[in-house]
Amino acid sequence: MSFSSLKKQSSLGSLTSKLVKEIEKTSTTRGGADERLWKPELDKSGNGYAVVRFLPAPDGEDLPWAKVYSHAFQGPGGWYIENSLTTIGGKDPVSEYNRDLWNSGNDSDKDVVRRQKRKLSYFANIYVVKDPVNPHNEGGVFLFKFGKKIFDKLTAAMQPEFEDESPINPFDFWAGANFKLKIRKVDGYWNYDKSEFDAPSSLLEDDDALEALWKKQYSLADFTSQSNFKSYDALEKRLKSVLGQKTVQAPRFDEELDDESEGRGAAVQQVAAATTVDEDEDNALSYFQKLAE
């Protein structure tokens, strides 16, 4: 798609319709540090604030976000931290193991499933408008990893509930809107409920500057590329090792455990302790119920 075509589709509103259809379709149905990723930070008061703009799909790609399922849990043999093959429509050994536990009918087995259920993450390109803690990020293009709560706000912007609200495409250069990211700590977890979109406006007034920004965006297709997923056999071997069915391996620590976007906090130990129901519980339990049926 050329930049002129991107602007034409913006004026016609066709991109918004296309994204809404993709959301409806998905609603029914990488390790180590990455310098491309932008992460919000809390200020001295313990709150966080930043303004970002979600960007359109990169050149040659259809969607402005990538959706990835993963697992992160600890067993007798260490940590299991892997992308789930269900992301790309494949069978995954953890999902199958969880299905068997869920079907056992034992409440204790269901508790285990809750601890090692799938985790849903999204990735999108953003333009950082305001970052008070790290102002050097302002004006830069980054990848942003976020969870269901923020994705629900994107969905709500495109599919408003009330008739006096006009739908917007938050990923649009010209008719989109800045996203005011507001973070509070609630019961020790990061909470995004107060985050909101500003009034629609053009990101930049100069189309040449917008096109230059568009060309700086990162590919999102890479996140769902086959190369980012281990084979079923490799994952099964790792799972058995973590469950103590093979030679015990040393615990594995991974940058992906530090996932502020899901309100987990910054310590690896908190992931192992987070055995209570969180914001994705309904989504995960619904998934296992479907498998059981």
Write the DSSP assignment of 142-208 as a string of letters.
EEEEE-HHHHHHHHHHHS-SSTTS----TT-TTT---EEEEEEEETTEEE-TT-EE-----S-S-HH
Domains and CATH numbers, the chain: 1-293 (3.90.198.10)
Q: What is the pLDDT of residues 104-117, one digit of tens each?
A: 989 999 999 999 99
Query: Quick one: pLDDT band at residue 292, thresholds 50, 70, 90?
Result: low
Nearest alpha-carbon partner for 290 in 95, 83, 17: 95
Q: Where are the alpha helices (DSSP H) in 116-192?
A: 148-158
Nearest alpha-carbon partner for 223 in 126, 123, 139, 107: 123
Q: Give Cβ neighbours of residue 236 (< 8 Å, ≥ 6 apart).
A: 93
Query: What single letter denotes the amino acid at residue 105?
Result: G
Query: Quick one: pLDDT band at residue 12, thresholds 50, 70, 90?
Result: low
Nearest alpha-carbon partner for 265 in 111, 36, 41, 43: 41
Q: How many angstroms separate the CA atoms of 97 and 117, rounded?
A: 10
Given a contact cutoff of 8 angstroms between Cβ atoms, the answer to whether 249 and 77 are in contact is yes
Q: What is the pLDDT of residues 189-224, one digit of tens each?
A: 999 999 999 999 999 999 999 999 999 999 999 999
CA-CA-CA-CA dihedral for 79, 224, 174, 213, to nearest 10: 80
Q: How many angstroms separate the CA atoms of 182 and 188, rounded?
A: 16
The lowest-confidence range among 37-46, 228-237, 252-261 is 252-261
Report how far Cα 47 is from the mean position of its chain's Cα atoms: 21
Report how far Cα 82 is from the mean position of its chain's Cα atoms: 15
What's the pTM? 0.76
Given a contact cutoff of 8 angstroms between Cβ atoms, the answer to whether 19 and 158 are in contact is yes
Would you tell me how many other CB atoms lie within 10 Å of the CB of residue 56?
25
What average pLDDT does range 61-89 have in this prediction?
96
Q: What is the pLDDT of residues 129-166, one digit of tens each?
A: 999 999 999 999 999 999 999 999 999 999 999 988 89
DSSP lists the bridge partners of residue 106 as: none
Nearest alpha-carbon partner for 273 in 13, 74, 25: 74
Query: Quick one: pLDDT band at residue 5, thresholds 50, 70, 90?
Result: confident
Q: Give Cβ neighbours of residue 44 (< 8 Å, ≥ 6 apart).
A: none
Given a contact cutoff of 8 angstroms between Cβ atoms, the answer to whether 86 and 71 are in contact is no
The lowest-confidence range among 151-155, 232-236, 269-273 is 269-273
